Amino acid sequence: MSDAAQPTAAEVRAAAEAVKTALDRHLAAVENRSGEDDPAVYDAFNHLAAAAEAYDERLYDRYDEVTPFEIPGADDSLPPYAGPEEPNALSVLIRRDYAVVEPQRLLAQAQRIADLDPDEERTESAPVVGTSVHAALGVLFGEFEPDEIASRHKEFGLEEGDSTLWVSAADDLPEPGEWLSTPFDQADPQRVVCRFDVSSVFDEDELAADLDDDVDVDEVES
């Protein structure tokens, strides 16, 4: 790495301070947790992991030193693969989370779809679509493919959360309709060939920007 691309001593110090702050936040969340699945603890854990990883990277880039921290990756959450070596079939499991951040935009888009659809049943329900988020979501996801919604989510008043995709091996293709009533109950982590996760937890650019904001621009490196 060139000298120009190396972080400054002040940036490394800011990253270290971010780890200290994240440690205090995590401890406070643990001390005040409301139960085993307290989302505040989960969020504090992820923030601490991201801060520790950013510090480790900057420390190495600047001083060629490392920390004793080991940041768990997504693959660490899966057990060893125990599926067939030569799968004859596969299942692709996808989860995408969204927050409804602009309900009025969602309602307007769904109303527009309902007004343009000549289907009689849809026309009869059109007035409800423009006033009910529940009905609007049904129209939206009934009209567009999930990938199109993912690429256009802002148009529909949605904000992306975490998403994951699992590719799971199978011995044979199930019979038609066999699992439709319980589509996710048969997911076996030991048969996952690969997975792909998207989360703000992994957004190092955002964390780096926060660290940069903490650095005093007038601070001169010693």
pLDDT for the residue 94:
92
What is the amino acid identity at position 182?
Answer: T
SS3 category, 148: helix
Q: Which residues contact 15 (CB under 8 A, 6 or more apart)?
A: 7, 51, 54, 55, 58, 59, 211
pLDDT of residue 2: 41
Predicted TM-score of the model (pTM): 0.54
- Widest Cα–Cα separation across the chain: 75
Are the CB atoms for 120 and 60 separated by under 8 Å?
Answer: no
Cα–Cα distance list, 8 to 11, 50, 85 (Å): 5, 19, 48
Question: What pLDDT does residue 218 have?
Answer: 45
Tell me if 129 sits within 8 A of 114, measured CB to CB.
Answer: yes
Q: Please count the other Cβ atoms lying within 10 Å of the Cβ belonging to residue 58.
A: 22
Task: Name the stretches of the chain with pLDDT < 50.
Answer: 1-4, 74-75, 120, 122-126, 216-222
